[in-house]
Amino acid sequence: MTRPLAEQHVVITGAAQGLGAAIARAFAAEGASLGLIDRDGAALAALGTELGARTVVCDLSDADATRAAIAELRAAGPVDTLVHNAAILKPQPFAEVSYEMFRATLDVGIDAGFILAQAVWPDMVARGGGALIFVSSQSGIKGFADETAYCAAKHALEGLSKCLAMEGEAAGILSCTITPGMAMQTPMSEQNYPPELKKKWVAPAALAPAFLRIAATRAPGFSGARLNAWDLSQEETT
């Protein structure tokens, strides 16, 4: 059963800025109830005040803190849609990547995705379905030099999503990954994009309609797929 967006409780990670904030604003405009997670307390508090959303400051590399954060948000009501957008990208040659940085990147990218999805799974089963949306990238499709940890995390996220799509089908739970599909201007991309990509990037808000469409329709063809936010958003607005 798909609930109207205005009746959904949506949890978004990495919500304080960039794509996460754009997604939060888009859901808020549709009347959804929001739970926002980020480690940047000041920016998260400002967005929470702007949108009337519940917020939890959390470092998702800490498994116990992640469990506590989602428990706090679930206490406000069962979760219908989870958008796991948080990630760490620190480009470094493989020989220079510390184990601590590798582990932190996986902790945020894949371990937190597992913890959060497993926590909201019972809510979605009880409510006749839900949507698990994991933000991926080209780094989840192929390898890039100097992105050992980030590519490993995104590739793992692709596999997790496919498995959850299969296991969730009977309960009406959609699971998918979504790539931006277009260069976008975010704090992360400002630090890492080469000049040629910066010439054509778009605002994150241009990609947000795709997330609304997934949560609102839970189209069968979406589950288990890797979706393109730019293409879906263009279809939604034309």
- Between 1 and 171, where is the model more confident? 171
Best-predicted range by mean pLDDT (166-180, 191-205, 222-236): 166-180
pLDDT at residue 8, as a whole number: 98
pLDDT at residue 201, as a whole number: 79
> Which of 119, 122, 110 minimizes the C-alpha distance to 151?
110
8 A C-beta contact, residue 227 and residue 214:
yes
Strand 54-57 versus strand 9-13 pairing type = unpaired
pLDDT at residue 237, as a whole number: 60
* Rounded Cα distance, 215 and 29, in Å: 14
> Which of 19, 54, 61, 18 minimizes the C-alpha distance to 37?
54
Q: What is the pLDDT of residues 76-134, one digit of tens each?
A: 999 999 999 999 999 999 999 999 999 999 999 999 999 999 999 999 999 999 999 99
- Between 236 and 214, where is the model more confident? 214
> Which of 166, 183, 184, 188 minimizes the C-alpha distance to 175?
166
Would residue 193 show up in a list of annotated catalytic residues for this protein?
no
Mean pLDDT of 47-62: 98
Mean pLDDT of the chain: 94
Catalytic residue among 27, 121, 134, 150: 150
- How much of the chain exceeds pLDDT 70, in percent? 96
- Between 192 and 34, where is the model more confident? 34
pLDDT at residue 186, as a whole number: 75
Residue 72 has pLDDT above 90, yes or no: yes
pTM, two decimals, is: 0.94
99 CB-contact burial (10 Å; exposed 0-12 / middle 13-18 / buried 19+): exposed
Which domains are assigned to the chain? 5-237 (3.40.50.720)
**For the sheet containing 81-84, what is the strand order?**
54-57, 33-38, 9-13, 81-84, 130-135, 173-179, 226-228
| End-to-end CA gap in the chain | 27
Mean pLDDT of 31-52: 98
Residue 236 has pLDDT above 70, yes or no: no
pLDDT at residue 238, as a whole number: 52
Residue 235 has pLDDT above 60, yes or no: yes
pLDDT at residue 162, as a whole number: 98
pLDDT at residue 184, as a whole number: 74
Residue 174 has pLDDT above 80, yes or no: yes
